[in-house]
Chain A
Amino acid sequence: MDSALVDDTLAAFILSGLSIQVAACRDDGRTTLVRGAGARLSADRRQLTVLVPASQSASLLQSLAANGRIAVLFNEPESHRSVQLKGRDAVIGTVSDADRAALPAYVATLTRRLQHYRIPEAFCRALFSVAPDDLAAVTFTPGEAYGQTPGPHAGEPLRHGEADERGDSHR
């Protein structure tokens, strides 16, 4: 039986070159947030790694080192479909050559998605680009998944086999 929270449908969605935001909290309740620069899943889909620009993530990495609690939001800009995954065991991982090599394709995909809103390409490339040597990797076990597509059902737990399609009916 497949007990990984992230099933095939969800895996395909979160790895499809989406806009990513990564959040953490300090133990005193202060929050922090940074834009992600890509994601990958372990073969058994139990471990999710998100890449972040280290230079923008000092407070994020500190918080994760202290308590491991993480929330990651994936959003498909042109459809607004959004999913949030949360975990309690985030650790700072290792950035692989494959992670660095995947960066240009990630930026290109997201840039193409934003053409839907006629947002200039140069702007998108500046916004999403991260220097390869500035990447940091954060790995965790997704324990909770929520649909975040805007609408009255945003924030409800995702059911298996769902990548928050529900929002479509509310648009």
Chain B
Amino acid sequence: MNRLINLDILRNCLEGIVPAGVATCGADGMPNVTYVSQIMYVDPDHVALSYQFFNKTRENILFNPRASVLLMDPNSAARYRLELRYLRTETDGALFERMKAKLAGIASHEGMVGVFRLRGTDIYRVLDIEHLPGRELPAELPARTLLPALRRCSDALGVCETLDSLCDSLLDSVIGHFDVAQAMLLFADEAAASLFVVASRGYPQAGTGAEIPFGVGVIGVAARERVPIRIMYAAAEYAYTRAVREQLLEGGLESELDQRIPLPGLGSPASQLAIPLVGGGRLLAVLYLESRQECRFGYDIEDALVALCAQASQAMALMQMQEDRAPERVPATAAAPVPAGQTLRVEHYPRDHSLLVDGDYLIKGVAGAILWTLLNDFRDQGRTEFSNRELRRDPRIGLPEVGDNLEARLILLIRRLDERRLPIRLEKPVQGRIRLRVGRPLMLQTREAS
């Protein structure tokens, strides 16, 4: 193996749209050469080739695992010949989903939608890399320097003391230092198998509370597989507005279309990148970036943001632990007076804890259950101060005693209420505590699912 060249520095060669040739050798000793739609970087010693059809290449590698691939640098036109040995095929899981998403972008760019169906990812060991002689263009200066940007983002996260400020800092620093125009952060609700937008940047509407089910689009697949998903070209089947709508229609849930919070997001992004935030073994959130520009997010920016998100995940998990350690006892306060004014009607659907306020959808899932519990205690006992720890143990909410990211749900709820400018607000007076403010008389109604 040529140790001076390694796959890490050739990753850009795997991003091109000019398909790579792959040569194999049959049982009869005859060579075969064809194109492979995609070659993906796995690690410094392995690549994955897309397997879409049972063809001669496949027949050959199952008999004789040796293969050669020609790559070219998409900037300099430098050519590299890789000698490979086929190891195995994966038909599901993280790598498969990454390739499937990426392939969808390439297929749509090349007018091959419907032809490119991924059957598997063939994993190969790289035995040798040969830099072939030939004319090359001079290397250009990198358009962006990622390490200084990463450091600045990391510094900004380091001073955050609350989950609330962490969310904003993560988005603001990514937008500011990585020169990205559109980004959003979504909290995961594993019980609901969905993600909810907690903050976004670069869209006409923030879309706080908008939902993306696990498995739908780039964000949903990144969440379900807990793996970064990156698309270099517009891929209609991974565009959100369409993906979510189609899934609802397929599930016979047309009625939900109207009561959903519209997703922020570009109609047909040319580049997409979704990175899961995993802390303490749990999926906490997904950071999503998109762009109208093709090939905007390469391997290196993915690496930088994965590192940043790892820091953010650790901080989130730590903040959750601190919130849970805060004192449980809430000082007794006089029952809040019943507010004056027109009655505000809050409806609760126990099936999924959807809440409607004066007929308008507000939120659902764990966040809905939390607010419904607080509102009931306010109506029945005049309570306005609650601790995280009592919420965690409240059977009406049904959270696990440890492990659930309660703090994330509270932030989502606070932001959603603020955005709707409702006379119901939540705030956090001190760590581990939540305060309810109600500005109008409440009428609470439980509805059965229709």
| Residues of chain A having any CB pair with chain B under 8 Å | 21-25, 27, 29-35, 53, 55-56, 67, 69-73, 75, 77, 80, 82, 84, 86, 88, 114, 117, 119, 122-123, 125-127, 129-130, 146, 148, 150-152, 154-155, 170-171
Quick check: B25 and A25 within 8 Å, CB to CB? yes
Residues from chain B with a CB closer than 8 A to the CB of A55 are 132-134
Q: How far is the CA of A56 from the CA of B136 in the complex (A)?
A: 14
Given contacts A69-B29, A72-B33, A73-B35, contact A33 B21 (CB under 8 A): yes
Quick check: A33 and B33 within 8 Å, CB to CB? yes
Residue count of chain B within 8 Å CB distance of chain A: 45
Give which listed residue, A125, A129, A154, contacts B34 with CB less than 8 A: A154
Pairs across A and B, CB under 8 Å, 13 listed: A25-B25, A25-B31, A31-B31, A32-B23, A33-B21, A33-B70, A71-B30, A71-B33, A119-B18, A125-B135, A127-B77, A150-B37, A155-B34
Quick check: A29 and B33 within 8 Å, CB to CB? no
Quick check: B134 and A171 within 8 Å, CB to CB? no
A101 CB to closest chain B CB (Å) equals: 19
Given contacts A25-B25, A114-B18, A154-B55, contact A86 B136 (CB under 8 A): no
Quick check: B137 and A71 within 8 Å, CB to CB? no
Quick check: B70 and A171 within 8 Å, CB to CB? no
A170: nearest chain-B partner, CB-CB: B115
The answer to the question of B335 belonging to the interface, with a C-beta cut-off of 8 Å to chain A, is no
Q: How far is the CA of A46 from the CA of B345 in the complex (A)?
A: 86
Residues from chain A with a CB closer than 8 A to the CB of B74 are 123
A167: nearest chain-B partner, CB-CB: B115
Quick check: B81 and A32 within 8 Å, CB to CB? yes
Quick check: B56 and A155 within 8 Å, CB to CB? yes
B211 CB to closest chain A CB (Å) equals: 35
Give per-residue flags for B67-84: 1 if the beta carbon is below 8 A from chain A beta carbons, else 0: 111101011110101010
Residues from chain A with a CB closer than 8 A to the CB of B64 are 29
The answer to the question of B387 belonging to the interface, with a C-beta cut-off of 8 Å to chain A, is no
Q: How far is the CA of A29 from the CA of B83 in the complex (A)?
A: 12
B92 CB to closest chain A CB (Å) equals: 22
Chain B residues 88 to 125 lying within 8 A of chain A, measured CB to CB, are 110-112, 114-116
Residues from chain B with a CB closer than 8 A to the CB of A122 are 137
A151 CB to closest chain B CB (Å) equals: 5
Q: How far is the CA of A135 from the CA of B110 in the complex (A)?
A: 32
B78 CB to closest chain A CB (Å) equals: 9
Quick check: B53 and A151 within 8 Å, CB to CB? yes
Quick check: A80 and B70 within 8 Å, CB to CB? no
The answer to the question of B343 belonging to the interface, with a C-beta cut-off of 8 Å to chain A, is no
Quick check: A30 and B135 within 8 Å, CB to CB? no
Give per-residue flags for B15-43: 1 if the beta carbon is below 8 A from chain A beta carbons, else 0: 00110011111000111111101000000
A-B pairs, 6 with minimum CB distance: A23-B23, A23-B33, A25-B25, A126-B77, A33-B23, A21-B21
The answer to the question of B428 belonging to the interface, with a C-beta cut-off of 8 Å to chain A, is no
Chain B residues 328 to 387 lying within 8 A of chain A, measured CB to CB, are none
Quick check: B110 and A31 within 8 Å, CB to CB? no
Q: How far is the CA of A24 from the CA of B26 in the complex (A)?
A: 11
Residues from chain A with a CB closer than 8 A to the CB of B30 are 25, 69, 71, 86, 88
Give which listed residue, B56, B69, B72, B133, contacts A33 with CB less than 8 A: B69
Given contacts A33-B23, A69-B31, contact A154 B53 (CB under 8 A): yes
Q: How far is the CA of A12 from the CA of B30 in the complex (A)?
A: 26
Quick check: B34 and A73 within 8 Å, CB to CB? yes
Quick check: A30 and B112 within 8 Å, CB to CB? no
Given contacts A25-B25, A30-B83, A71-B30, contact A152 B17 (CB under 8 A): no
Residues from chain A with a CB closer than 8 A to the CB of B79 are 35, 56, 127
The answer to the question of B292 belonging to the interface, with a C-beta cut-off of 8 Å to chain A, is no
Given contacts A23-B23, A86-B30, contact A35 B70 (CB under 8 A): yes
Quick check: B35 and A82 within 8 Å, CB to CB? yes
Residues from chain A with a CB closer than 8 A to the CB of B67 are 31
Q: How far is the CA of A77 from the CA of B74 in the complex (A)?
A: 16
A135 CB to closest chain B CB (Å) equals: 13
A146: nearest chain-B partner, CB-CB: B56
Quick check: B18 and A29 within 8 Å, CB to CB? no
Residues from chain B with a CB closer than 8 A to the CB of A29 are 25, 29, 64, 66
A23 CB to closest chain B CB (Å) equals: 4
Give per-residue flags for B133-147: 1 if the beta carbon is below 8 A from chain A beta carbons, else 0: 111110000000000
Given contacts A31-B23, A155-B55, contact A23 B68 (CB under 8 A): yes
B104 CB to closest chain A CB (Å) equals: 15
Residues from chain B with a CB closer than 8 A to the CB of A72 are 33
B61 CB to closest chain A CB (Å) equals: 10
A86 CB to closest chain B CB (Å) equals: 6
Most buried by A among B21, B23, B32, B110: B23
Residues from chain B with a CB closer than 8 A to the CB of A119 are 17-18
Residues from chain A with a CB closer than 8 A to the CB of B23 are 21, 23-25, 31-33, 71
B107: nearest chain-A partner, CB-CB: A150
Quick check: B21 and A80 within 8 Å, CB to CB? no
Quick check: B133 and A123 within 8 Å, CB to CB? no
